[in-house]
Amino acid sequence: MASLTASATQRTSHRGCSSGLRNLVLFLTLLTCIIRSSESIKPSNIVLIVTDDQDVQLGGMKPMKKTQALIGDEGATFTNAFAATPLCCPSRSSILTGKYPHNHQVHNNSLSGNCSSPAWQKAHEPLAFPVYLSKQNYQTFYGGKYLNQYGTKEAGGVSHVPPGWDQWHALVQNSRYYNYTLSVNGKEEKHGDNYEKDYLTDLVLNRSLHFLDDRSPQHPFFMMLCPPAPHSPWIAAPQYEKNYSDVQAPRDGSFNKPAKDKHWLLRQPANPMTDSSIKYLDNAFRKRWQTLLSVDDLVERLMKKLDDIKELNNTYIIYTSDHGYHTGQFSLPIDKRQLYEFDIRVPLLVRGPGIKPKQTLQAPVVNIDLALTILDIAGVNLTQVNMDGQSFLPQMAPSLRNGTTRPYFLLEYTGEGHPVQDPACPKLGPGLANCFPDCVCEDAYNNTYACVRTLKDHNLQYCEFADNESFVEVYNLTADPHQLENIVKKVDPALLQTMNQRLIKLQSCEGSSCRDTKK
């Protein structure tokens, strides 16, 4: 009887152990599921790469073979991406705020033009998209050029770090490759001309890689990388100084063409261009491509790092530029600031979760859309954000979002000039700026314009100038992709009236009214 009781006790004990073991296994399985579930709903990481002055119309992406393979071929390439304005500081302000220039009030690259001014810092930096990301527990990193007047004494010096950034490695003032100053989390850091330590494109990459090593894996990250290339002074890395020695600027389209039917500034350059001007712009064209090879390396190394840390498949990578550029179009040697396609079109390549590879998308996108797209990816409630743009996530990944494309959008620019005449170009009088040899000036007070660009129904551009001629330019981009003929006198007056009404509406739009373009 005793042995029977012992046996029964053992069986009961075994059943208890078995039941406890099953409960433990069940608990561990449930815990694993919870952990995996929390990992799967972790917001995606985001990387935004913004180059400086990189065109897309004149072959600016040709040096970027790795970038096109690693981002474009693995995701979406937008063929109709535009800057809201063709100048660095106003355009970058649009990227940060998601607003048209008439709303963020940055007119040019000067402090008086509101570039990184104390007024800008007070009114707009607290509402820039990195602030929203920080509230979403994103770890944030900035590296490279910020705004042209950033870090100057009048703009608060290097101690000013805009809100929303955890790691801040920003260039003081305009693009440089060597001999520059950084603000590193509010502390001044001077750099010389040693390639290994100082070449800015490589430094931006290396600092971003350190950030990835030091980040917390529990939270998503956002990085904004802004290398100087291909902005002047066009200093290539030593290994690329001899590349493209036989390349010259494209001679097709509007290259070295007269601009008799265009606004006053474009009617000034001599045509044909002098041999010295052509030699100068060809040299600039080659050097621009040389500097971009280091950006291509940056993309490759960054992608490898993301892959090594197992974050590549959960990261959106966006590649773009602040605006386009020209080299000889309408006899203008080198610059930007004009309303034409070569200055306003930008590259835009995106890869990331939910984006199918090898997509070529024709939906129009403006750089004011970048901020809301990034916030959309981060899970921010966009109805609570007052920005002019709209998310283009639905265009790239329709399985993730529903959305519509805009039928038309605004382009605007405020011209710059000097109150006194350029001593080298006295015949042109005062009011001009950015004058090159041979008295070719790239900007003027009266180079102030606003345009409506539409791709739906009519592939048109309609522009009005704030000058004493009230000059108007209209182009049919389907029939005339190089904008050689201003057809303002040939267009149906009813269409001109429609475009004028659209322009008036857009010039006063704010927030959602900038997206309400049904009429």
Would you please indicate which residues are annotated as catalytic (active-site) residues?
88
Q: What's the rounded Cα separation, in Å, for the pair 75 and 59?
A: 20
Please choose, from the candidates 330, 328, 340, 337, the residue with its C-alpha nearest in 3D space to the C-alpha of residue 288: 328
- Phi, psi angle pair for 282, to nearest 5°: -65, -40
Helix H or strand E encompassing 369: helix 369-377
Q: What's the rounded Cα separation, in Å, for the pair 385 and 368?
A: 13
Strand 408-413's sheet: what is its strand order? 408-413, 449-454, 460-465, 472-476
In one-letter notation, the amino acid at residue 80 is: N
In one-letter notation, the amino acid at residue 164 is: G
Residues recorded for the chain: 519
Q: Are 422 and 435 in contact (CB under 8 A)?
A: yes
β-strand pairing of 221-226 with 315-321: unpaired
According to DSSP, residue 246 is labeled T
3-state secondary structure 374-400: HHHHCCCCHHHCCCCCCCCHHHHCCCC
- 404-415: b or e for each residue (b if 16 or more CB lie within 10 Å)? ebbebbbbbbbb
Q: Are 387 and 124 in contact (CB under 8 A)?
A: no
According to DSSP, residue 124 is labeled T
- Phi, psi angle pair for 448, to nearest 5°: -110, 120
Helix H or strand E encompassing 130: helix 129-135
Q: What's the rounded Cα separation, in Å, for the pair 205 and 227?
A: 9
